Amino acid sequence: MTNEHWGKVRDSLQQAVGQNNYRNWIEPLEFAELEDGVATFLVPTNFMSNWVERNFGDQILQHLVRSGAEVSRLVFAVPKLDKSPAATPDRATGARPVRAEGDDLPGALLDNRFTFDSFVVGKPNQLAHAAARRVAEGGPVTFNPLFLYGGVGLGKTHLMHAIAWDMRARDPSLKVVYLSAEQFMYRFVQALREKQMMDFKHLFRSVDVLMVDDVQFIAGKESTQEEFFHTFNALVDHNKQIILSADRAPGEIKDLEDRIRSRLQSGLVVDLHPTDYELRLGILQTKVARYREQYPELKIADGVLEFIAHRLTTNVRVLEGGLMRLFAFASLVGQEITLEKAQDALADILRMTDRKVTVEEIQRKVAEHYNIRMSDMVGPKRQRVVARPRQVAMWLAKELTTRSLPDIGRRFGGRDHTTVMHGVRRIGELIKTDSQIAEDVELLRRALEA
């Protein structure tokens, strides 16, 4: 089967499924190959893959068979846009992956949705955003490396790609290489195996900007670390910019050689904090506005975005997934998305992200972290070594559970709700001024949400 053949089948499907469905579900399908009766199509998201398979799979198969194609089964695969060199264009979202450099250089693909324009800035990410902007401006290398870290789906990859796009736009001759630490290791091992280390070294040392995503991956991998260290030093010596990302701060990455850890910390280390309500709402509003440019008929009732921003608090990827679901829903039913419909459409995501952490778990984790007794959490002691962890636990209880202040107070040895409120406020202030507390809280939150 050829692309042309698929084109004809697609046209016949248009009649069968209707214009709206066609535009949303069929048109974005990219025919990849037909092998042994299995036709593979590329789709932009997992959600779409499931949906198309479930709702249109049979119809597509029938139309293909009727057209004379020797197909017995369909596969809808999602290309990994940002990580896999084999990725293909994503028509539905307009994402066109582009290599970050010339063909002879190593590196992964850049996602053209990940630009500064599409990055919504709020308190939790403003520092990381400002640093990324600064580095993207080029000029004398100021922070080297720029080390971005934060939890899953908070925009690290987005910012790195945005820097790469910006730098390339400013100076197309710059050799900007973006790749994951895993790809770096893969290249390195391959070079070792094929006895092409000289080429490998030359290749990586000839770049102007090196971006390595998820560097925590090299923890425990000694020879990769060693090579990374040499590459790093060579580039820094030549004043070339390095940008790294990880899911935690350099100091928290275990099994990393000290000299590497200190290298990672030698530039600017900035973190992306978990999103807050305002940022989530801003992201949702921005994405809806963009979607409307293409589909002006989209109608969302007041309060729906606020509801999602309030309930889907895990990470931006989940938030986007929820929104995609709503868009799909809206295009299928062709009606305004009311709060009720949104709750329906997102029921499973909402259930999944419902906070299930208990106050007791929080107390236990915090006690463990600060090395105090569980009984001190609920006991009367007022010394700071005990009182501060207790306040941290109160803050986490407020953030991660739906319990009221009086209820939390009861679980902390029958304390009054004003005591809880005071504790929660105090930690809220300290997070802004005391980096140790901020780090503790962040670590504990991640451990509890994991």
Q: Residue ranges for the binding site for ATP?
A: 153, 155-157
**Least distance CB 132 / ligand ATP (angstroms):** 11
- Minimal distance, residue 217 CB to ligand ATP, in Å: 11
Bridge partners of 28, per DSSP, are none
Question: Are the C-beta atoms of residues 231 and 205 closer than 8 Å to each other?
Answer: yes
* 123 or 310: CB nearest ligand ATP: 123
Shortest distance in whole angstroms from residue 167 CB to ligand ATP: 17
Alpha helices in 18-101 (DSSP H): 19-21, 46-66
C-alpha span between 148 and 162 (Å, rounded): 13
Residues whose CB falls within 8 Å of the CB of residue 185, separated by 6 or more in sequence, listed in order: 217, 218, 221, 224
By beta-carbon proximity to ligand ATP, the closer residue of 276 and 320 is 320
Asked whether the beta carbons of 148 and 156 are under 8 A apart, the reply is yes
> Helix-strand-coil percent breakdown of the chain, rounded to 5?
55, 10, 30
Closest contact distance (angstroms) between CB of 122 and ligand ATP is 7
Residue 380: cis peptide before it, omega within 30 degrees of 0? no
Question: Which two structure tokens, joined as six digits, stand for 68?
Answer: 């004379």
Q: Give every CB contact of residue 17 below 8 A, 6+ residues apart in sequence.
A: 25, 26, 56, 59
Nearest to 212 by CA among 223, 224, 220: 224
Query: What is the rounded distance in angstroms from the CA atom of residue 188 to the CA atom of residue 190?
Result: 5
Least distance in angstroms from the C-beta of 67 to ligand ATP: 36
Cβ of residue 9: shortest distance to ligand ATP, in angstroms? 31
d(C-alpha 45, C-alpha 324), whole Å: 9
By the 8 A CB rule, do 449 and 313 touch? no
Nearer to ligand ATP, 160 or 235 (CB): 160
Q: How far is the CB of 26 from ligand ATP (least distance, A)?
A: 24
Q: Please, which residue, 320 or 361, has the CB nearer to ligand ATP?
A: 320
Please enumerate, by residue number, every residue annotated as part of a binding site.
153, 155-157
CB of 272 to ligand ATP, least distance (A): 7
Query: What residues line the site for ligand ATP (CB under 6 A)?
Result: 114, 118-120, 125, 150, 152-158, 247, 283, 316-317, 320
Residues of 108-122 as b/e, b for ≥16 C-beta within 10 angstroms? bbbbbbbbbeebbeb
For ligand ATP, the closer of residues 45 and 391 by Cβ is 45
Residue of 84, 85, 60 lying closest to 73 (CA atoms): 60
Which one, 199 or 278, has the nearer CB to ligand ATP? 278
Locate 268 and state its tokens. 């600017």
- Contact (CB, 8 A) for 162 and 116: yes
Nearer to ligand ATP, 252 or 361 (CB): 252
Q: Are 205 and 211 in contact (CB under 8 A)?
A: no
Comparing every residue's Cβ against ligand ATP, the nearest one is: 155
HEC assignment per residue over 210-238: EEEECHHHHCCCHHHHHHHHHHHHHHHHC
Residue 176, strand partner residues:
209
Nearest approach, Cβ of residue 268 and ligand ATP (Å): 17
Whose Cβ is closer to ligand ATP: residue 246's or residue 420's?
246
Structure tokens at 246: 């990880």
Q: Name which of 209 and 392 has its Cβ closer to ligand ATP.
A: 209
Give which of 101, 105, 29 is closest to 60, Cα–Cα: 29
Q: Tokens 């820097």 identify what position?
A: 163
